[in-house]
Structure 1
Amino acid sequence: MKTTLVTLLLAVLCVEQAYTFMCYVCQEQESNKNCLTISMCAEEEKYCVTVRNNVGTKPNKPKYVISKMCSSTCPATSQQQNQTDQRVSCCEKPLCNVNGVSSKKSNYGVMSLGVLASITYIFACGL
């Protein structure tokens, strides 16, 4: 039974198109730790986007808010208007906006951690 569950879990992770596209989502949070809610994206949404806005008023003490979302397009990467600074990053892999950096390393790291946690749970519960 354990072998079947582990094999099934690995098969689902290997077939990327078999499951719905997911991204981390949040709205204007001051910390990335508050931006770890996972959401299923609509079928046409193929990008995970992170937007970081500088909302601080003091030059030596910047204050940022972070928003994460699913998107059907990849918006412009950075903009500087007036005295606000906005940094936008987008990526095309599920859950790749965990830290706002679009890299395969972060995506595979999160997926590996999820697989390890799942396998540990399976064996701990004796399934």
Structure 2
Amino acid sequence: MKTTLVTLLAAVLCVEQAYPLICYVCQEEELNKNCLTISTCAKEDKYCMTVRTNVGTKPNKPKYVISKMCSPTCPVTSQQQNQTYQRISCCEKPLCNVNGASSQQRSYAVMSLSVLASITYIFACGL
């Protein structure tokens, strides 16, 4: 019975997402409340991505615009080009970029802890 449960748990964790990802999308909005349009991503898209770009010219009064989109990859978390600074974040759950996506590393940590807790519970209960 233990072997069956462990095998089933491993199979569930290895199955790819069977439905397309959905994310919030927008282009260069000044307010997050204007970035709540929902879009179904392409089959190859694995991430919901949020890009926060500093477009302000005064150091004491930064101005930001927000863009949200589906993406097949997660680029580096931040980059600077000339006077523009971008903070990029990605996540892998449906509509996870509502307030700016969390880092994908946090998703893996939570998933790993969940799997560890499940396996510990299975063996502790003697199933």
TM-score, with length taken from structure 2: 0.65
Mapped partners of 1:77, 1:40: distance in 2: 23
On the 8 A contact 2:48/2:95 being kept in 1, the answer is yes
Mapped partners of 2:72, 2:86: distance in 1: 20
Runs (4+) off by over 4 Å = none
Sequence identity of aligned pairs in percent?
81
Count of aligned pairs between the two proteins: 89
On the 8 A contact 2:89/2:101 being kept in 1, the answer is yes
Residue 72 of structure 2 corresponds to 72
Once the two structures are TM-superposed, the CA of residue 18 in structure 1 deviates from its matched residue by 5.4
Once the two structures are TM-superposed, the CA of residue 24 in structure 1 deviates from its matched residue by 0.3
TM-score, with length taken from structure 1: 0.65
Mapped partners of 1:61, 1:67: distance in 2: 20
For the aligned residue pairs, the C-alpha RMSD in angstroms reads: 1.7
User: Which runs of 5 or more residues in structure 2 are unaligned?
Assistant: 1-15, 108-127
Once the two structures are TM-superposed, the CA of residue 75 in structure 1 deviates from its matched residue by 1.1
**Deviations, residues 39-76 of structure 1 (Å, cap 9, x unaligned):** 00011101000001000011111000000000111111
Mapped partners of 2:71, 2:92: distance in 1: 10
On the 8 A contact 2:49/2:101 being kept in 1, the answer is no
Mapped partners of 1:52, 1:42: distance in 2: 22
Mapped partners of 2:80, 2:67: distance in 1: 17
Mapped partners of 1:79, 1:34: distance in 2: 24
Mapped partners of 1:20, 1:84: distance in 2: 33
Does residue 28 of the first structure (1) align with residue 2 of the second (2)? no
SS in 1 for 2:65: strand
User: 1:44-83 counterparts in 2 under 5 A?
Assistant: 44-83=44-83
User: Which runs of 5 or more residues in structure 1 are unaligned?
Assistant: 1-15, 105-127
Once the two structures are TM-superposed, the CA of residue 97 in structure 1 deviates from its matched residue by 0.6
Does residue 99 of the first structure (1) align with residue 105 of the second (2)? no
Which one-letter code corresponds to 1:96 in the other structure?
Answer: C
Mapped partners of 1:40, 1:30: distance in 2: 23
Which one-letter code corresponds to 1:61 in the other structure?
Answer: K
Mapped partners of 1:20, 1:79: distance in 2: 29
